[in-house]
Structure 1
Amino acid sequence: MTEGPSPAVSQSQYRCLELSNKDQQDNTTGSFCRRLWDGLLCWDETPAGTSVTQHCPDHPDLDTTEKVTKYCDRMGNWVEIGSACQLASKDKLEQEKQFLRDSAGAMTTDATDVDIGGVQKLILENEKKCSEKMKNDPKYDKPGVYCSRNWDGWLCWNDTPAGSHASQNCPSYFADMEATEKVTKYCGEDGQWVHQPKSERIWTNYTLCSSTYEKRQRAAAQLSGDIEVQPADGATVSPAVHREEQEIERKKILDSQYKCFEKMNRDAAYNKSGLYCSRNWDGWLCWDDTPAGTYTSQNCPNYFMDFDPTEKATKYCGEDGQWFRHPDTNRTWSNYTLCNENTNSKLKSAYILFYMAIVGHALSIASLLISLAIFFYFRSLSCQRITLHKNLFCSYVLNSALTIINLGGVVSNPDVVVRNPVGCKVLHFFHMYMLGCNYFWMLCEGIYLHTLIVVAVFAEEQHLHWYYLLGWGFPLVPASIHAVARKKYFDDNCWMSVDTHLLYAVHGPIMAALLVNLFFLLNIIRVLVTKLRDTHRAESNMYMKAVRATLILVPLLGIQFVIIPWRPENRLAGEVYDYIMHILMHYQGLLVATIFCFFNGEVQAALKRQWMQYKMQWGQRRKDHCSMRSTSYTATSITEVPAFMYHHDCNSEQFNGRHMEI
């Protein structure tokens, strides 16, 4: 530019200052960016949270066809976005560089020693290569809407499907640009590259190109202004976390910002009568147009570890059509206090539930292994029903072991989740598989009991290979489908997220198995009640046995997940629900081992018999110390107990439930 202001500029500056003095005499309400003279243009008083665009002034060194946009942030401060008025050659390049620095968080690296001519030559070469590439590349042939290829002034962008992000490495034009970081560009659902809100300029996100993390953090919230969050005592808004976690948080915020800008540009204008507060992005969440005098709310964001996404963030639109301002700061304020108000209590509850799960599965493994040892040791217990029990117990043991490994090695270890090794996904696959085996062996037990009690009278032995196929083979199908779909459509770190419908690939068959078992339970109860009535026993005894049979079958068949599958919304009721469900889920192995082994009449008889033999052997040893041969003979004689004293017939299960110790 030529030195000294032109007469036109001086007149424009004088008029702008004159209008600014007049504005100060007016009584205005709400938050505004005051009228501003920036050296070239006069910017009118503008409401906070909006942007304004105008043509560059008529100046010999400026291109009047270019437009410049300024944004009034939520604090009432002007922020320049988009392109500034373009200068010629060297000055133009410097202005573009300064625009990037503004958009990347006001980088302060001194770059006065940059070879401007070399940089400009490099940019022109890249622009030429981009033009040739766009000309030679085949046309976009995929179905659906897309954003067309283009050159944004620094980088070349390919055709991009609507609703997706494109990214590439930052350019290395300047010393203060980090070439290993990523530049991103968002293609809106309408097939248009995303614009800044209410501006006419397409926006490419160069914020990550800044050389320091702190500057990138400032850049992430450049267009939103500060956020006033009043946390509860003892809680933090953003706890100290590792750099990798900070990067994840920042990317989540930027992604939400992209989507908010696209939504604000796409949504129709407010068409209801009366005052309203205009849509805006507050730095964390996107808020729609809201009628005056009303509250609006939405779920808290999941950016931070101490934020609970099930809680609500609120924002109040005043009677004057202006968003509520905090009295201490006089800034527009979104109420995020509930997001971390119960963080400490929920964290304590989470720890309690975590250790409840660990202890429950450890006790389950111990009790199940003892039960399996009893079943394998006493051959008198060998029959088809016990064989099914063994397989069910094995599935419980493996499921509990994988759950402990997953809780201790992955869930409680953020570093592993951040690294996202293949091993944690393999562990998740086997955990899903064993979860399916657990419930399908429950189904096998239900099918066997239903066949034994309801379908056949004096039934012959059933073919167990079908049960093996159902219990161990079929769960591979939903687990494999879930793994393939997760890898292709929702490949999050260690597949830990539950915010995906793909889990229904595993949970759907499990729920179907539970519903079938519910039918079996009701039908078995009906048959048992009928048979008890036919035997003409006392009414009280009849119902007691029916209730006993029901209570035994419920934990075996897993009906509790069908009876209470929904968590209450009330916080206290929800905590009670969590404790009950944790006991039912994580202590189920212990409960099943207790009922179907330790309380089993056949098992108790076998243990008593073995205990009597041990006592008699021990007593005989104390009485007779004459010779090892005599002791051995006595012990052998004691072992040979007449069979009629402890008669056991495992085939008694064939008598259609008339005399069956479950």
Structure 2
Amino acid sequence: MLNCPPWRLLLLLLWWGPLLRRAKTGSVGETAGELYQRWERYRRECQETLEALDPPAGLACNASFDMYVCWDYAAPNDTARVSCPWYLPWHRHVAAGFVLRQCGSDGQWGPWRDHSQCENPEKNGVFQDQRLILERLQVMYTVGYSLSLATLLLALLILSFLRRLRCTRNYIHINLFTSFMLRATAILTRDRLLPPLGPYPGGQAPVPWNLALAACRTAQIVTQYCVGANYTWLLVEGVYLHSLLVLVGGSEGGHFRCYLLLGWGAPALFVIPWVIVRYLYENTQCWERNDVKAIWWIIRTPILMTILINFLIFIRILGILVSKLRTRQMRCPDYRLRLARSTLTLVPLLGVHEVVFAPVTEEQARGALRFTKLGFEIFLSSFQGFIVSVLYCFINKEVQSEIRRCWHRCRLRHSLGEERRQPLERASGILPSGSGPCRGGPDCALSLGTLPGPGDEASRVLESYC
């Protein structure tokens, strides 16, 4: 059953629309108090009515008050309907309407309640505008995640199958790309599972509601894990890059297992407690709403910490980059150009854009600020995978060089035959297996330019990322 305290119902009613015209006293506080008194009287009358009812002999959904309307016993596989509650300030406009709810075949109420006929008609225009904005945002992030999925899959195949690109840095990129793909797949799948839990024409769902509810909650849990894993792999990218810059001369691959454990294991440390607490204290609908904010902060807090840590790493890397560029005594236009290029390159890799609205909580975001925050975060989050795959694979000179080598090698094999392949490869200067550019040469650069000192390890690291 749906469960929420009276004060939350009051807040929901205040959100649904202009509840009351200003009272003659002009006091909004008195108006809200009158509304609560009517709701309390409705609740008491409902309890008295339920106590007087005789339970049916067979299987039936129980009679109860779900904090919104009073429900009588209902037969299995039936759609119960109750008149709109009279305590609503706009009841005279919706007196002919009904609240609908599905009673399942097992004698349990469905998770959704259709009260669309009881909504404030004066607020319908505003609701329609907000719904249109949300639908457009959904289309935008569906396109973004779909595009990211396609490009990330191609980038993943390139980095995985080209042997000369195999190094710790690209292994971390591969895991980051995988986390982006899992996040996109989980979100798109969850969106497909949410609609079947809503009201259906004729009141009968195509699948049992309990199965649909279980599938939807499972998708919600998987989505939270994939989103958490995506943030932790962004953190791994930052930690790895920072360790190379600070601990110059250390082994790049020595801590890769630790990075794997952090990237894929850390999200379970906060997703599992969230699932347990959510099941015990807020086990409502598909878990897509976060009415109890304390439970939501179990997931939100670690994510905000990863954003903050990556932002600090980003500032530190920029400081190192500035010092390296200054030592070259470069001209001002060149200096600013290279600094801007490196900054823009690192922003999507470390997820620095998340800092913009990170201090703004969902409770604070209202009106235009809410939709601005949603639009900004949804656009960048959905297209971030596409941007990262382009920057760190498709326009990476190391990757382009290796693809050209493979293409020339295939053309040589095709035109000259298998028997002459080996001598021609040596004559054409193709690198032997195992001596690829990922072993630390200047080919790992992303065309930022030559930073100081051919033996400067920090410069090489910055070049390979920026």
The answer, yes or no, to whether TM exceeds 0.5 is yes
- Structure 2 counterparts to residues 381-400 of structure 1, below 5 A: 381-400=165-184
User: In the alignment, which residue of structure 1 is the partner of 2:217?
Assistant: 425
Q: How many residues align?
A: 390
Aligned pair 1:639/2:425, yes or no?
A: yes
Contact 2:81 2:100 in 1 (8 A): no
Structure 1 CA distance, aligned partners of 2:93 and 2:316? 57
User: In the alignment, which residue of structure 2 is the partner of 1:460?
Assistant: 251
**Alignment counterpart, residue 363 of structure 1, candidates 142, 147, 168:** 147
Amino acid at match of 1:522: I
Q: Secondary structure of 1:498's match?
A: coil
Contact 1:456 1:656 in 2 (8 A): no
Residue deviations 1:485-539, cap 9 Å, x none?
Answer: 0000000122121223212111110110110000000000001001110122222
Residue deviations 1:570-615, cap 9 Å, x none?
Answer: 44x6545433322211121111111111121211111222233344
Residue 563 of structure 1: how far off its partner (Å): 1.3
Amino acid at match of 2:307: L
Structure 1 CA distance, aligned partners of 2:167 and 2:161? 13
Q: Secondary structure of 1:388's match?
A: helix
Structure 2 CA distance, aligned partners of 1:647 and 1:380? 4
Residue deviations 1:421-469, cap 9 Å, x none?
Answer: 333322222221111111101111100101111x122333332111111
Aligned pair 1:651/2:440, yes or no?
A: yes
Structure 1 residues 216 and 364, CA gap change in structure 2 (3 angstroms): closer
User: In the alignment, which residue of structure 2 is the partner of 1:217?
Assistant: 82
Aligned pair 1:600/2:396, yes or no?
A: yes
User: In the alignment, which residue of structure 1 is the partner of 2:91?
Assistant: 227
Amino acid at match of 1:499: D
Whose helix fraction is larger, Structure 1's or Structure 2's?
Answer: 2
User: In the alignment, which residue of structure 2 is the partner of 1:378?
Assistant: 162
Contact 2:235 2:310 in 1 (8 A): yes
Structure 1 residues 210 and 504, CA gap change in structure 2 (3 angstroms): closer
- Stretch of structure 1 that moved more, 645-654 or 590-599: 645-654
**Alignment counterpart, residue 123 of structure 2, candidates 312, 332, 339:** 339
Structure 2 CA distance, aligned partners of 1:386 and 1:379? 11
Q: List runs of 5+ in structure 1 lacking aligned partners.
A: 1-29, 32-48, 51-72, 83-99, 105-151, 155-169, 188-204, 231-236, 253-301, 308-335, 622-630
Structure 2 CA distance, aligned partners of 1:397 and 1:251? 31
Contact 2:99 2:117 in 1 (8 A): no
Residue 370 of structure 1: how far off its partner (Å): 0.9
Aligned pair 1:561/2:347, yes or no?
A: no
Residue deviations 1:601-647, cap 9 Å, x none?
Answer: 211111222233344455x36xxxxxxxxx32344444343257997
Residue deviations 1:96-115, cap 9 Å, x none?
Answer: xxxx8xx58xxxxxxxxxxx
Structure 1 CA distance, aligned partners of 2:276 and 2:257? 28
User: In the alignment, which residue of structure 2 is the partner of 1:448?
Assistant: 240
Structure 2 CA distance, aligned partners of 1:241 and 1:183? 14
User: Hey, which bits of structure 1, 4+ residues long, moved more than 6 A?
Assistant: 213-216, 223-226, 237-242, 247-252, 644-647
Structure 1 residues 497 and 634, CA gap change in structure 2 (3 angstroms): same
Residue deviations 1:530-550, cap 9 Å, x none?
Answer: 111012222222222222111
Structure 2 CA distance, aligned partners of 1:661 and 1:604? 14
Aligned pair 1:552/2:345, yes or no?
A: yes
Amino acid at match of 1:656: A
Aligned pair 1:352/2:136, yes or no?
A: yes
User: In the alignment, which residue of structure 2 is the partner of 1:171?
Assistant: 54
Greater relative CO, 1 or 2 (CA 8 Å, sep 6+): 2
Give the TM-score normalised by the residue count of structure 2: 0.71
Aligned pair 1:436/2:436, yes or no?
A: no
Structure 1 residues 227 and 250, CA gap change in structure 2 (3 angstroms): farther
Q: Secondary structure of 2:459's match?
A: coil
Q: Secondary structure of 1:493's match?
A: coil
Structure 2 CA distance, aligned partners of 1:497 and 1:346? 17
User: In the alignment, which residue of structure 2 is the partner of 1:316?
Assistant: none
Residue 243 of structure 1: how far off its partner (Å): 4.3
Give the TM-score normalised by the residue count of structure 1: 0.51
Aligned pair 1:537/2:321, yes or no?
A: no
Structure 2 CA distance, aligned partners of 1:392 and 1:179? 51
Structure 2 CA distance, aligned partners of 1:186 and 1:352? 32
Residue deviations 1:119-160, cap 9 Å, x none?
Answer: xxxxxxxxxxxxxxxxxxxxxxxxxxxxxxxxx7x5xxxxxx
Contact 2:244 2:458 in 1 (8 A): yes
Residue 483 of structure 1: how far off its partner (Å): 0.3
Amino acid at match of 1:661: S
Amino acid at match of 1:478: F
Aligned pair 1:610/2:396, yes or no?
A: no
- Structure 2 counterparts to residues 29-68 of structure 1, below 5 A: none
Residue 559 of structure 1: how far off its partner (Å): 1.7
Contact 1:521 1:553 in 2 (8 A): yes
- Structure 2 counterparts to residues 187-586 of structure 1, below 5 A: 208=72, 217-218=82-83, 221=85, 227-229=91-93, 243=102, 303-304=115-116, 336-337=120-121, 339-411=123-195, 414=198, 415=205, 418-419=209-210, 421-453=213-245, 455-461=246-252, 462-501=254-293, 502-565=295-358, 566=360, 569-571=366-368, 574-586=370-382
Structure 2 CA distance, aligned partners of 1:214 and 1:642? 75
Amino acid at match of 1:406: R
Q: Secondary structure of 1:217's match?
A: strand
Contact 2:220 2:286 in 1 (8 A): yes
Structure 1 CA distance, aligned partners of 2:458 and 2:339? 15
Contact 1:428 1:495 in 2 (8 A): yes
Residue 186 of structure 1: how far off its partner (Å): 11
Contact 2:307 2:351 in 1 (8 A): yes
User: In the alignment, which residue of structure 2 is the partner of 1:591?
Assistant: 387
Contact 2:231 2:306 in 1 (8 A): yes
Q: Greater Rg, structure 1 or structure 2? A: 1
Contact 1:517 1:559 in 2 (8 A): yes
Structure 1 residues 546 and 411, CA gap change in structure 2 (3 angstroms): farther
Q: List runs of 5+ in structure 2 lacking aligned partners.
A: 1-22, 25-32, 199-204, 445-455
Structure 2 CA distance, aligned partners of 1:524 and 1:467? 19
Contact 1:353 1:582 in 2 (8 A): yes
Cα RMSD after superposing both structures:
4.3
Structure 1 CA distance, aligned partners of 2:208 and 2:340? 46
Structure 1 residues 394 and 221, CA gap change in structure 2 (3 angstroms): closer
Residue 386 of structure 1: how far off its partner (Å): 0.7
Q: Secondary structure of 1:660's match?
A: helix
Contact 1:402 1:427 in 2 (8 A): yes
Residue 556 of structure 1: how far off its partner (Å): 1.3
User: In the alignment, which residue of structure 1 is the partner of 2:447?
Assistant: none
Residue 410 of structure 1: how far off its partner (Å): 2.5
Structure 2 CA distance, aligned partners of 1:500 and 1:417? 28
Residue deviations 1:263-286, cap 9 Å, x none?
Answer: xxxxxxxxxxxxxxxxxxxxxxxx
Amino acid at match of 1:514: I
Residue 551 of structure 1: how far off its partner (Å): 1.0
Residue 244 of structure 1: how far off its partner (Å): 5.8
Contact 1:410 1:417 in 2 (8 A): no
Whose strand fraction is larger, Structure 1's or Structure 2's?
Answer: 1
Structure 2 CA distance, aligned partners of 1:655 and 1:468? 24
Identity over the aligned pairs, expressed in percent?
22
Structure 1 CA distance, aligned partners of 2:301 and 2:182? 21
